[in-house]
Structure formats: structure tokens, C-alpha cells
Amino acid sequence: MKRNELYPVFLKVSQLNTLIVGGGNVALEKLTFLLKSSPEAQVEMVSPMFREETVALAHKFNIVMHDGIYHAGYLEGKHVVIATTDRPEVNEQVYYDCRAKSILVNVADNPPFCDFYMGGIVTKGNVKVAISTNAQSPTTAKRLRQFFEDVIPENIDDLVQNLNEYRKTIKGDFEEKVETLNEFTKGLVEKKK
């Protein structure tokens, strides 16, 4: 059986500069996804055309929009780039330009041209669960997201905050604190018989 070897990370996109190349439906989807998860994300967009919905969303979140054709100069100071145009040759050029500058890049709907994928996300306060199917089935990721949204209780953030306060009161070194918290929270994951 093939195994998903992706390493999950949670990026502080409010502290990174992101560029979305394109202004159509896919660009809107990626921008919406990014802002839903991180409303303070630092995003710029470049395209010769933007959908009305994209413009409205961009204005709401102070997204910088460049009306023009992509060129490598737009990559200056960027950390993450998402290519969404309907022109494969442009998307692939974005990929190669990013690789030359060691910038993380995602070419929408083209897994070989991606350093990362944008999977399903469930957020409940400080708890965030990311779901990846290794770009094999976005529909499965969507269904799993819906499942976790239903089973993770709305008040999970209360537990997180309370455990954080409790953690501050525990004496001992790091290993002792971890052992104490593991013992205290093991009831959260024990299977009922």
C-alpha cells in the first residue's frame, strides 16, 4: 500500500507573503480557503482579469491586486505562491520560477508541480485539524472534514484553555509535565467498551 509521506505544517501566513497568480474561479477558491483559515493572511494577486467576487473579497480583506500579466518580478519578497491560471504554460513557468528562488509553490490541480497541497481543514477555536489525501481525492478530504466538524465538540477550545492553565501549574521538568498531562488527558481518547 502506498503511504502519504507529506509532512504537515501550520504556516503563520499572517507573517509570510503569499502570491496568487490568476483571477478566475480557482483563484477565488484558493483565496477564500486561505482567508477562511487565516483572515490576517498577507496576500497579493496578479492577473489580467479578476472575477467580481474575487475583487469584493480582496477589498474586504485588504488584498493587494495587480492588474497585469505574471512575470518573475512578482515573486520578489514572496514566501508562498499559488498558481491558478487556466494556462498550463503560465502555471508551469510560475513553478519553475519559484523553484529557482526556493519559494514554496502550489500549481492548482497539477500535483507534480506542487511543493504543498491545500487540504481540508477543521477549526474549533485553537484546535485545527488538517486533512490530506496526498492529492488523490479532494472529495474524500472534504467528507472527512465534514465528519470531524461534526464529532469535535464546539467547546473543545474550553478544554484547551483549561489544560493550558493547568500546564502552567505543574511542577517538574519537561518530561514530568508531559507525563502528567498525558495521564490527565488519556480519558479523551480511550475507547469505550
11-48 pLDDT tens trace:
999 999 999 999 999 999 999 999 999 999 999 999 99
- Ramachandran sector of residue 134 (left: φ over 0; alpha: ψ -120 to 50; beta: rest): left
Does position 169 have pLDDT exceeding 70, yes or no? Answer: yes
Give the best-scoring range by mean pLDDT among 36-45, 132-141, 152-161. Answer: 36-45
Domain boundary among 63, 97, 118: 118
Do 130 and 44 share a structural domain?
A: no
Does position 159 have pLDDT exceeding 80, yes or no? Answer: no
6 belongs to a structural domain:
no
Average pLDDT score over residue span 164-177: 75
CB 9 within 8 A of CB 30: no
- Distance from CA of residue 107 to its chain's centroid? 14
CB 62 within 8 A of CB 80: no
Does position 93 have pLDDT exceeding 70, yes or no? Answer: yes
Do 124 and 36 share a structural domain?
A: no
56 belongs to a structural domain:
yes
2 belongs to a structural domain:
no
The 3-state DSSP composition of the chain as helix, strand, coil percent (nearest 5) reads: 45, 20, 40
List beta partners, residue 161.
Answer: none
Model pTM score: 0.82
Do 69 and 34 share a structural domain?
A: yes
Number of separate domains in the chain: 3
Domain span holding position 96: 17-118
Do 145 and 56 share a structural domain?
A: no
Does position 188 have pLDDT exceeding 70, yes or no? Answer: no
